[in-house]
Each structure stands twice: as structure tokens, then as C-alpha cells.
Structure 1
Amino acid sequence: MRRVLGGSHQICLQGASFDEPGKESWRHIEARSKTTVVNSPDNLVLVKPVSQDTPLEEIVRLLGEDYDVILTEGLKQEGTSKIEVHRKGTGPLLKNIRRLIAVATDELLETRSRQFSFRDTESLADLLERGFIKPQKKRISLYVNNAPVILTSFPKQIITNILLAIVSCPKAVRDISGLQIFLRKE
């Protein structure tokens, strides 16, 4: 089973309301609290005011490492691979899109990128799965001051072994499948 996260990055969300006026959580959002979580039986919305567009890298760090692929919308200038969704009659394909790997469309286009019909979701999913989704049963990520630190296999193994040794000491801890550590030094 693939772990997929879908997201949207759109200017139209600016000022969007995820709660009802007058409720406590709504007042927290309006007061620009550092972070507000609106929780219901079928949704969880995290509202965190920012002063500028949040880079995708920061969003990934905030959401954690539990996804094989993250599908986003509206991040044309990010350095990640992209699939353009193009509808007939909406004009030409976007120009100067870096790392365009495919176009999902309802018409045949003149482009070097691979094209997929909107109805051919299986082939598009195969492209993503073969070329971009690399499930890692074992994964360790390190962020220092919110920036990712690239680790080679040797430090990954050392960090993993040390952390597992530390948390394996209590007899109640068995079958560790995930471990999260947070450190703030301020």
C-alpha cells in the first residue's frame, strides 16, 4: 500500500476560513496564534500563520516522513518533478517549467514530455511508481535548524543503532517500527 499525501498551494486560500466565526478555534486563528488545530471526526486542519510562502521542503519536514509521494498543486517554481494538468481550450502549455516529467491532458499536444489521457490514470501511476516512488522500509532523516542534513549510509547506521539501543532498554518497548525525537536547544 502506498502512502500518498495530496496538497494544494494556492493564493485563493489566503484568508480562507476553516472554522465557524465566534467559535474558540476561530478566535485563535483570527488572533494569529502560533498554530491552531481544528479537529472533527472526519478532518484535521492545522493553521499556522506565515509571513511568506512556505518552501515545500519545510512543508515536508512539518508533515513528517510517513509518505512515499507528496502530490501538490501550484508549486511551479520548486525544484521538484512536475506533472502539468492541461485542458483543451485553456491555452498553450506553461513555459519554463523545470523538471516537467509528464502532461495529463484531454488532447494531443506537441511536447517532448510524456502525455497521459485523464482516463489513463493507471499508466500515470505506473510512471510515478517506477520512476519516482522509492519506498524505504528503513529510513532515517535528520534536520538541523529546520534544514535537512544529507547522511551517508555509515552515519545513518550509527545513528540508527544508537537510538534503537537507547529505546530498547526498557522491557516494555518491543518491535520498534518508528521513532521520533525532537530537540530544541534554546
Structure 2
Amino acid sequence: MTRIPVVAVVGMPDCGKTTLLEKLLPELKGRGLKVGTIKHHVHEFTMDTPGKDTWRHKQAGADAVVLASPTGIGLVRDTDRDLGVDELVTRYLNDADLVLAEGYKHTRLPKIEVYRAELHPSPLPGRDATWLAMVSADPPANLGLPSFAPDQIKELADFLEDHLRQAAKQATPTGRSYIHLEVDGQPVPLNRFAASLLRRGIKGMIASLRGCERPRKISLNITEGHNPDDHSGNHAD
């Protein structure tokens, strides 16, 4: 299971989930957090524009199409199943500090529910211990959860940052995770940010390989130049 915190924003249709994310994301980004999002869509997937080059690549039979530019990349690829959140985060969002998922109300993810009393008589049924908070202009009485008005974005961001701190404390219940770096035989000290970035990046890439989905210990050696004993052709550029 990924150790990057994931919080699901859930609610009835048209309750304002996307609007909340549009307001919350700039606040979190302004605090120096790297935030990824997942939008869960239960219907057939289409994103590309008919007639565009990438669309033509896909229509011609490509299993995956990457659009690359100096300012960003886009990926469209086939899948034979609905990938779980952990797998999506590990493959595509492994350098995030926080992932906000829109949907996934039937999972065990921590949840923030958006509720609009003028559209729906009651919040989502089946509320359990995974609910963290409610965002509503008119929250139900005796809710038993922290409640935020739709315009209390700063307060909600404070709440999420506290959740991140708590998640970090619980991320390694059986002990801390360590990473040790040596270059040319000399140990290189890593600050907390660099160690976390390097550890998550390597683990994310390794976990995407078949048979390596849940690595416990990873050893990696990179030697520049040709290795005369290596006849596999597996060289990194």
C-alpha cells in the first residue's frame, strides 16, 4: 500500500466536489505542497480530441500514447481493469506530498464529504470511521465530525496539513524507512526532503515492475561506462 497520503473528496452528484478542489488546490500549493489528483470515472474513458495527432495514433492501434512538451506531458493508455488508488499513485503520482481523489466513496480511503442540503435531503449513507470532515453551508445537527463552510478553505487546508502530519507519524508502524547513498565509495548525506524524494522515486519506479509491486529492500548500483562482464544489453543512457 502506498504511504503517500490520499484523501477522497466524496458526495452526492452536483454537490460541489470539483468546485471545492478548484479552491483548495491553490491554497495547498501556496503552502509548498506537491499535490496530485485522481478523478474516478465509472464510464468509458475518452480524453483526446478527434482529429488530433495523438487521437490518430490511438485510433491506429497504439496501446499507449504520450504527448510530450517542454511544460508537461500527457498519457493516454489502455487498461483491462479499474486500477486501484494505490496502483495509480505508485505508477503516476509517486512524487506527491498529498493526493486528493474525487470519488471512491465505497473505499477505505480517508474521506471529506461535500454536502448541499438544498439538493439532497441527507448526506451519504453508511458514514463510518473513514470520514474525516464535512464541507457544507448547512451541516446536519449532531454530525460528530469537524465541519467547514464552503468558503473556509484556509481552515480546511490547516485541517489537511494536520492530517498529513498524523499520517507521517503512522507511515512506518514497524520502524522507520532508511536510505543510504554512496557516490564513488563516499557516503553522501541527505536531508529529509532529498531522502524522501529519492526513496519515493526509486520505490515508485521499482513497484511498477512486474513482480516488484511491494518491495521491502532495494539495492541499486549504477556504474558509468561499459561493463565488460555485461552482455545483456541493459544499459542506461
Q: With the length of structure 1 as denominator, give the TM-score of the two structures.
A: 0.71
Cα distance change on mapping 1:4 and 1:185 into 2, 3 Å: closer
Give the 5 Å matches for 1:22-171.
22-31=51-60, 33-40=62-69, 43-91=72-120, 92-98=122-128, 99-110=130-141, 111-133=143-165, 152-153=174-175, 156-157=177-178, 160-161=179-180, 164-165=181-182, 168-169=183-184
State the 1:94 CA deviation.
Answer: 0.5
CA spacing shift, 1:127–1:29, aligned 2, 3 Å: same
CA distance in 2, matches of 1:130, 1:17: 35
Distance apart, 1:153 and its partner CA = 3.9
Q: Normalization by structure 2: what TM-score?
A: 0.57
Unmatched 5+ residue regions in structure 2?
Answer: 1-31, 212-237
Q: 1:77 to 1:108 in 2, by over 3 A?
A: closer
The CA distance in 1 between the partners of 2:140 and 2:173, in whole Å, is 41
Evaluate the alpha carbon distance shift between residue 133 and residue 75 of structure 1 in structure 2; reply closer, same or farther with a 3 A threshold.
farther
Alpha-carbon displacement from aligned partner over 1:113-153 (angstroms, at most 9, x marks no partner):
221100111111111111234697xxxx9xxxxxxxx7954
State the superposition RMSD in angstroms.
3.2
Task: Return 31-40 or 123-132, whichever deviates more.
Answer: 31-40
Change (3 A) 1:61 1:37: same
**Structure 2 counterpart of 1:17, from 33, 47, 61:** 47
**Offset from partner CA, 1:50-100 (integer Å, 9 cap, x none):** 222110000110124321211110111221100011123221100114401
Please tell me whether the aligned partners of residues 111 and 133 of structure 2 are also in contact (alpha carbons under 8 angstroms).
yes
Q: What CA distance in whole angstroms lies between the structure 2 residues aligned with 1:96 and 1:105? A: 18
In structure 2, do the counterparts of structure 1 residues 30 and 96 end up closer, same or farther at CA, with 3 Å as the change threshold? farther
Percentage of matched positions with identical amino acids: 25
Equivalent AA in structure 1 for residue 37 of structure 2: G
Higher relative contact order (CA 8 A, sep 6+): 2
Residues 133 and 40 of structure 1, relative CA distance in 2, 3 Å threshold: farther
Paired residues in the alignment total: 164
